[in-house]
A and B are shown apart, each in its own frame.
Chain A
Amino acid sequence: MVNPMIILAMFLLAAFATALIDKLSRMLAIGTMYVVFALAAGLGAWQLYFLQSMPDAQTMVYSAGFPAPLSIALRFGVVEAFLITLMNLFGLLGGVYLFKRFKEHGAGAIALYLAMLLGANGLVLTRDIFNSFVFMEILSISSYALIGLKQTKNSLIAGIKYMLAGGLASALFLIGVIFVYRFTGTLNIDTWIAMGNIPSAAYLVALFMVAIGVFIELKPFPANGWALDLYQSADSGLAAIIASVQTGAMLFLFYKLLPLFIPEMLNIFAGAGLVSFVFANLIALRQKDAKRLLAYSSTAQSGLLVFVIAALYLLKLPDTIILVIALGLFFTNFFAKAGLFWLAGIVKQDNLSAWGVLKKDSGLLIIFGVFVIGLMGFPPFPAFFAKWHLVHIFTATKAWIWLAGLLLGSLLEVGYLMRWLGFAVKQEHPGELSKSFSKMLAPMISAIFLTTASFFLIKLYPGLGAFNVYPLMALLLFGLVDYAPAKLKGAIAIGVLSYWAWFMLLPSLPLMGQVFAVILVGGSIAQLFAFMRYNGAAEGFFPFLTMLVFSFGSLITASTTMELFIAWELMTLASYMLILRGKKAKDAALLYIVFSTFGAYLLLFGLSLMPSTYPGYPLILQAGFLSIGWVAALFATGGFLIKMGALGVHYWLPSAYAEADDETTSILSSVLSKAGVFGLLLILMMISSYVKSNSLSMIALGWLGVFTAFIGALMAARQEDAKLLLAYSSMSQLGYIVVGLSLMSHLGWVSALYMAVNHLFFKALIFMAMASVFLRTGTRNMYEMGGLIKKMPIAFISVLMGIIAVSGVPPLSGFGSKWFIYTSLLEQGRYLQAGLVFFSSAIAFLYLYKLIHTVFLGQAKPNQSHVKEAPIWLIIPQGIFIMAIMAISMFPNLITKPLSQAVGNYIAKPDWLSWDGYNIVLNSPALHGNWNGNLVMYVTMGVFIIPLLWLLLVNAKTQKVKQFNIVFAAERPYKPETTHYAYNMFAHYFKALGFWVEPRATAFYQGVSEWTHSISATLARIYTGNGQTYILHIFLYMITLYLLLGVR
Chain B
Amino acid sequence: MLVLISGVLLIIIGIWAMLTRKNIIRIIIGFSIVDTGVHMIIVAIGYIKNATAPIIDSAVNTSSDISGAVHVNSLIVDPVPSALVLTAIVIGLAVTALLLSFAIRLYKVSGSLNIDDYEELKW
**Do A and B interact directly, with beta carbons closer than 8 Å?**
yes
A residues at B contact (CB < 8 Å):
130, 134, 137, 141, 144-145, 148, 151-154, 156-160, 163-164, 167-168, 170-171, 174-175, 178-179, 181-182, 187, 228-229, 232-233, 292, 1017, 1020-1021, 1023-1028, 1031-1032, 1035
B49 beta carbon closer than 8 Å to chain A: no
- The reply to whether B109 and A153 form a contact with Cβ atoms under 8 Å apart is yes
- The reply to whether B122 and A178 form a contact with Cβ atoms under 8 Å apart is no
* In the complex, chain A residues whose CB is within 8 Å of the CB of B84: 130, 178, 181
* In the complex, chain B residues whose CB is within 8 Å of the CB of A292: 121
Q: Can you sample 6 A-B contacts with CB below 8 Å?
A: A158-B121, A178-B41, A178-B42, A178-B81, A232-B121, A1017-B123
- The reply to whether A179 and B99 form a contact with Cβ atoms under 8 Å apart is no
On whether A174 and B24 interact (CB within 8 A), knowing A156-B106, A163-B98, the answer reads no
* In the complex, chain A residues whose CB is within 8 Å of the CB of B121: 154, 157-158, 228-229, 232-233, 292, 1025
* In the complex, chain B residues whose CB is within 8 Å of the CB of A229: 121
Q: Which of A160, A170, A187, A228 has the most CB of B within 10 A?
A: A160
A144–B28 alpha-carbon span in the complex (Å): 15
* In the complex, chain B residues whose CB is within 8 Å of the CB of A182: 45
Specify the main secondary structure of chain B where it touches its partner. helix
On whether A174 and B123 interact (CB within 8 A), knowing A134-B87, A157-B118, A181-B80, the answer reads no
B56 beta carbon closer than 8 Å to chain A: no
On whether A1021 and B34 interact (CB within 8 A), knowing A145-B98, A151-B105, the answer reads no
B14's closest neighbor in chain A, by CB?
A: A171
- The reply to whether A174 and B38 form a contact with Cβ atoms under 8 Å apart is yes
A233–B38 alpha-carbon span in the complex (Å): 31
- The reply to whether B15 and A160 form a contact with Cβ atoms under 8 Å apart is no
Complex interface bits, B48-66 against A, C-beta within 8 A gives 1, otherwise 0: 0000000000000000000
B110's closest neighbor in chain A, by CB?
A: A153
* In the complex, chain B residues whose CB is within 8 Å of the CB of A175: 11, 38, 41
Q: Which of B96-117 contact A (CB under 8 A)?
A: 98-99, 102-103, 105-106, 109-110, 115-116
* In the complex, chain A residues whose CB is within 8 Å of the CB of B120: 153-154, 1025
* In the complex, chain A residues whose CB is within 8 Å of the CB of B80: 181, 187
* In the complex, chain A residues whose CB is within 8 Å of the CB of B22: 1028
* In the complex, chain A residues whose CB is within 8 Å of the CB of B103: 160
* In the complex, chain A residues whose CB is within 8 Å of the CB of B81: 178, 181
- The reply to whether A153 and B118 form a contact with Cβ atoms under 8 Å apart is yes
- The reply to whether A1025 and B118 form a contact with Cβ atoms under 8 Å apart is yes
| Min CB–CB distance B13 → chain A (angstroms) | 14
Residue among B18, B45, B109 making CB contact with A1028, cutoff 8 Å? B18
B1 beta carbon closer than 8 Å to chain A: no
A170–B87 alpha-carbon span in the complex (Å): 13
* In the complex, chain B residues whose CB is within 8 Å of the CB of A174: 38, 42, 88
A159–B118 alpha-carbon span in the complex (Å): 12
- The reply to whether A164 and B94 form a contact with Cβ atoms under 8 Å apart is no
| Min CB–CB distance A541 → chain B (angstroms) | 40
B residues at A contact (CB < 8 Å):
11, 15, 18-19, 22, 24, 27, 31, 34-35, 38, 41-42, 45, 80-81, 84, 87-88, 91, 94-95, 98-99, 102-103, 105-106, 109-110, 115-116, 118-123
Residue among B87, B99, B115 making CB contact with A163, cutoff 8 Å? B99
* In the complex, chain B residues whose CB is within 8 Å of the CB of A163: 95, 98-99, 102
On whether A164 and B122 interact (CB within 8 A), knowing A141-B98, A145-B98, A182-B45, the answer reads no
- The reply to whether A153 and B122 form a contact with Cβ atoms under 8 Å apart is no
On whether A157 and B91 interact (CB within 8 A), knowing A228-B121, A1026-B119, A1031-B18, the answer reads no
* In the complex, chain A residues whose CB is within 8 Å of the CB of B95: 137, 141, 144, 163, 167
Q: Which of B34, B94, B120, B121 has the most CB of A within 10 A?
A: B121
A1016's closest neighbor in chain B, by CB?
A: B123
* In the complex, chain A residues whose CB is within 8 Å of the CB of B109: 151-153, 156
A141–B94 alpha-carbon span in the complex (Å): 8
On whether A179 and B45 interact (CB within 8 A), knowing A157-B118, A1028-B18, the answer reads yes
- The reply to whether A181 and B45 form a contact with Cβ atoms under 8 Å apart is yes
A148–B105 alpha-carbon span in the complex (Å): 9
A890–B106 alpha-carbon span in the complex (Å): 84
- The reply to whether A1026 and B45 form a contact with Cβ atoms under 8 Å apart is no
* In the complex, chain A residues whose CB is within 8 Å of the CB of B116: 1026, 1028
Top 7 A-B residue pairs of the complex, sorted by shortest distance between their CB atoms: A1025-B122, A1025-B119, A157-B118, A1020-B123, A229-B121, A156-B106, A153-B110
A483–B108 alpha-carbon span in the complex (Å): 53
* In the complex, chain B residues whose CB is within 8 Å of the CB of A159: 102
* In the complex, chain A residues whose CB is within 8 Å of the CB of B34: 167-168, 171
Query: With contacts A141-B91, A159-B102 known, what are 8 further pairs, Cβ within 8 A?
Result: A134-B87, A134-B91, A153-B109, A153-B120, A168-B31, A229-B121, A292-B121, A1028-B115
* In the complex, chain B residues whose CB is within 8 Å of the CB of A233: 121
| Min CB–CB distance B44 → chain A (angstroms) | 9
* In the complex, chain A residues whose CB is within 8 Å of the CB of B24: 160
A1021–B103 alpha-carbon span in the complex (Å): 27
- The reply to whether B38 and A160 form a contact with Cβ atoms under 8 Å apart is no
- The reply to whether B45 and A153 form a contact with Cβ atoms under 8 Å apart is no
| Min CB–CB distance A752 → chain B (angstroms) | 51
A164–B14 alpha-carbon span in the complex (Å): 12
On whether A160 and B106 interact (CB within 8 A), knowing A168-B34, A175-B38, A1028-B18, the answer reads yes
- The reply to whether B115 and A1027 form a contact with Cβ atoms under 8 Å apart is yes
A295's closest neighbor in chain B, by CB?
A: B121
* In the complex, chain A residues whose CB is within 8 Å of the CB of B115: 1026-1028
B103's closest neighbor in chain A, by CB?
A: A160
Residue among B42, B88, B105 making CB contact with A156, cutoff 8 Å? B105
B21's closest neighbor in chain A, by CB?
A: A1028
| Min CB–CB distance B39 → chain A (angstroms) | 9
- The reply to whether A1023 and B122 form a contact with Cβ atoms under 8 Å apart is yes
A115–B45 alpha-carbon span in the complex (Å): 31
* In the complex, chain A residues whose CB is within 8 Å of the CB of B31: 164, 167-168
| Min CB–CB distance A191 → chain B (angstroms) | 13
* In the complex, chain A residues whose CB is within 8 Å of the CB of B11: 171, 175
- The reply to whether B91 and A171 form a contact with Cβ atoms under 8 Å apart is no
* In the complex, chain A residues whose CB is within 8 Å of the CB of B119: 1024-1026
A919–B51 alpha-carbon span in the complex (Å): 109
* In the complex, chain B residues whose CB is within 8 Å of the CB of A179: 45
On whether A1027 and B118 interact (CB within 8 A), knowing A153-B110, A160-B24, A178-B45, the answer reads yes
| Min CB–CB distance A464 → chain B (angstroms) | 43
A1025–B120 alpha-carbon span in the complex (Å): 6
A158–B88 alpha-carbon span in the complex (Å): 24
Residue among B35, B102, B110 making CB contact with A160, cutoff 8 Å? B102
A160's closest neighbor in chain B, by CB?
A: B102
* In the complex, chain B residues whose CB is within 8 Å of the CB of A130: 84, 87
| Min CB–CB distance A1042 → chain B (angstroms) | 15
| Min CB–CB distance A302 → chain B (angstroms) | 20
* In the complex, chain A residues whose CB is within 8 Å of the CB of B41: 175, 178
A153's closest neighbor in chain B, by CB?
A: B110
B80's closest neighbor in chain A, by CB?
A: A181
A156–B31 alpha-carbon span in the complex (Å): 18
A187–B78 alpha-carbon span in the complex (Å): 14
A1017's closest neighbor in chain B, by CB?
A: B123
* In the complex, chain B residues whose CB is within 8 Å of the CB of A1025: 118-123
A541–B48 alpha-carbon span in the complex (Å): 77
| Min CB–CB distance A108 → chain B (angstroms) | 12
A160–B119 alpha-carbon span in the complex (Å): 13
* In the complex, chain A residues whose CB is within 8 Å of the CB of B102: 144, 148, 156, 159-160, 163
* In the complex, chain A residues whose CB is within 8 Å of the CB of B94: 137, 141
* In the complex, chain B residues whose CB is within 8 Å of the CB of A145: 98
- The reply to whether A1023 and B123 form a contact with Cβ atoms under 8 Å apart is yes
